[in-house]
Amino acid sequence: MYKPLIESHVGAWEVAIVLLLVGYILYRLDKQKAAKVIQMILRLLYVVIVGSGLWMLFQFHSSDPLYYLKGLLGIATIALAEIALKRAAHRHSSLSYLVAALVLFVVVILIGYRVIV
């Protein structure tokens, strides 16, 4: 049961990061309608990411506090990505939020693969 769960979780994150970048670029090119569709798909992926992440956390890693930190950082990554897209949609400065989301994403990956312990 663990393997399909982690595959769906990792796959959803991979697709979400690509869609985040595509959505950001579309908002910056003033293609509001296409960017809004991408953002809605991203939100659906966030549900899959959070759902599978919580399931794995409580099913397999509930005794490891590092995974709780990873979960909180993952939610912060999603929040920063949403802020970046919303600010890009309103034509406000948003590059710093995008960069912060990507940096936090890398930290979450490093924690997940036990590079950061």
Question: Does residue 82 lie in a domain region?
Answer: yes
Number of domains in the chain: 1
CA distance 94 to 100: 10
Please say if the pLDDT value at position 109 is more than 80.
yes
State pLDDT tens for residues 15-72.
999 999 999 999 999 999 999 999 999 999 999 999 999 999 999 888 889 999 999 9
CA distance 26 to 35: 5
Structure tokens that stand for 67 in this block: 């995974």
Report the SS3 class of residue 101: helix
Domain of residue 11: give its range.
2-112
Report the SS3 class of residue 89: helix
CA distance 62 to 79: 23
State pLDDT tens for residues 72-91.
999 999 999 999 999 999 99
Question: Does residue 102 lie in a domain region?
Answer: yes
Q: What is the pLDDT of residue 111?
A: 93
Question: Does residue 117 lie in a domain region?
Answer: no
Q: What is the pLDDT of residue 75?
A: 97
| List of E strands, the chain | none
Q: pTM score, two decimals? A: 0.92
